[in-house]
Structure 1
Amino acid sequence: MRTTKIAEEIESLPVEAQKEVIDFVAFLKTRYPVVRTIRKHRQTKLSDEPFIGMWRGREDMRNSVAWVKSLRQREWGRRL
């Protein structure tokens, strides 16, 4: 039976019977809970993430501590 047909059938009932239908549906929902299948997102290894290695080949990034120090000196030196 189609959903629209079911709705029409319920609407044709007296108000009290419609309330009973609603109560019965609520009862059925508790008796037969919807089991939702949860798709497990495939865990990607961190080493396979696209951002890993994006600085590879950059000579200025070989020594990241020196790079940050140099950057800070340039940026903060302008403000002094």
Structure 2
Amino acid sequence: MNMEKVLADLAALPPQAMEEAADFIAFLRARHGSAASDAPAGTKFASGETFFGLWRDRRDLSDASAWVDGLRRDEWRR
């Protein structure tokens, strides 16, 4: 996998799609764990990109579990 290509493709997405990609990445990391310790030396990570930390100032996500529970409750009530 070419990380530079992945990052370039991600940076070319509209903001909403970047948020979806960030959600999916978080899902995959939770499911599979982080491979950062297995990465070859010199591998660049997204932490230097402008989209990194996109949601750090969101007060409604301070308790992510409660936020997801609320979403599910709202959606499943229909």
User: How would you bin the TM-score normalised by the shorter chain?
Assistant: 0.3 to 0.5
In the superposition, the TM-score normalised over structure 2's length comes to: 0.41
Q: Which of 1 and 2 has higher RCO (CA within 8 Å, sep 6+)?
A: 2
Which of the two has higher C-alpha Rg? 1
